[in-house]
Amino acid sequence: MNNLFVHNQMIMNKSIFALSLVAILLALGCNNEEVKIRIDNQTGSDFASIEVNSNGNENTYGSLPHGEKSEYKAYPQAYRYGFVQAITIAGDTLTAQPIDYVGESPLDDGNYTYRLTVNTPVGSLLGLELVED
């Protein structure tokens, strides 16, 4: 009788472990949504590098010719605008500098594009437009 109880207890423990493992794997598999942002360079300049910081979440995009779009980069959280610093092939620095994120809501999970333009007449300031893909 005692052996039967131990055997049943072992089967129940294995079943609980297996169900817990399945539940964890399902939970991890369902949480694959995130904010992904790519860069669309519409500035008229080729970039040697681009860095983006949206409220402390940073990514480096590398080189990007005028008229091209980068690959998407994942962010744990991002906003409709952020700090962008782009270095041109000629060595000029173009910047989009947000003041703060007061009143802003984080972007929902999904794919977005930061379309970069140059704000004239001040040629060192980047214009940044959010496009939902």
Q: Residues 65-83: pLDDT tens digits?
A: 999 999 999 999 999 999 9
What average pLDDT does range 21-28 have in this prediction?
A: 47
Query: pLDDT-derived band of residue 31, with 50, 70 and 90 as boundaries?
Result: very low
Whether the pLDDT of residue 18 is over 70: the answer is no
**This prediction's pTM:** 0.74
The residue extents of the domains of the chain are 1-32, 35-132
Report how far residue 114's alpha carbon sits from residue 96's, in angstroms, rounded to the nearest whole number. Answer: 11
Q: Is CATH 3.30.70.3000 correct for 35-132?
A: no
Query: pLDDT-derived band of residue 32, with 50, 70 and 90 as boundaries?
Result: low
H helices then E strands: how many in the chain? 1, 8
Whether the pLDDT of residue 111 is over 60: the answer is yes
Going by C-alpha positions, the residue among 84, 63, 66 that lies closest to residue 128 is 84
CB of 63 closer than 8 Å to CB of 88 = no
Which strands form 47-54's sheet, in the order they lie side by side?
57-60, 47-54, 83-88, 93-96, 125-132, 110-119, 35-41, 73-75
